[in-house]
């Protein structure tokens, strides 16, 4: 079903990098490849600067 509102995908506390980044990416990328979701957010067990850097990559 398509809506006029964006669908936000999020993963909370996926763990420390790099394992947490791999887990978050695996979960979110599967949905995005199916055309599900418009924005993403994930949370690593790491410094917020590290989280932002990983999110941009």
Which tens digits make up the pLDDT trace of 7-39?
Answer: 998 877 777 878 888 888 888 889 989 989 988
Q: Is residue 2 part of a domain?
A: no
CA distance 24 to 28: 6
Q: Is the pTM of this model over 0.75?
A: no
Residue at 39 is within a domain:
yes
**Is the pLDDT reported for residue 47 higher than 90?**
no
Instruction: Write down the pLDDT at residue 18.
Output: 81
Judge whether 15 lies within some domain.
yes
Please give the pLDDT value at position 25. Answer: 83
pLDDT, position 11: 78
User: Is residue 1 situated within a structural domain?
Assistant: no
Residue 45 structural domain = 8-56
Alpha carbon 7 to its chain centroid, in Å, reads 13
What is the structure's pLDDT at 34? 93
Number of domains in the chain: 1
Residue 14 lies in a domain: yes
């Amino acid at each position: 079903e398509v809506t006029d509102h964006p669908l936000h995908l999020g993963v909370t506390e996926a763990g420390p990098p790099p394992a947490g980044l791999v887990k978050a990416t695996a979960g979110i990328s599967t949905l995005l490849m199916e055309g599900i979701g418009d924005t993403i957010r994930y949370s690593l067990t790491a410094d917020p600067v590290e989280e932002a850097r990983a999110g941009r990559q």
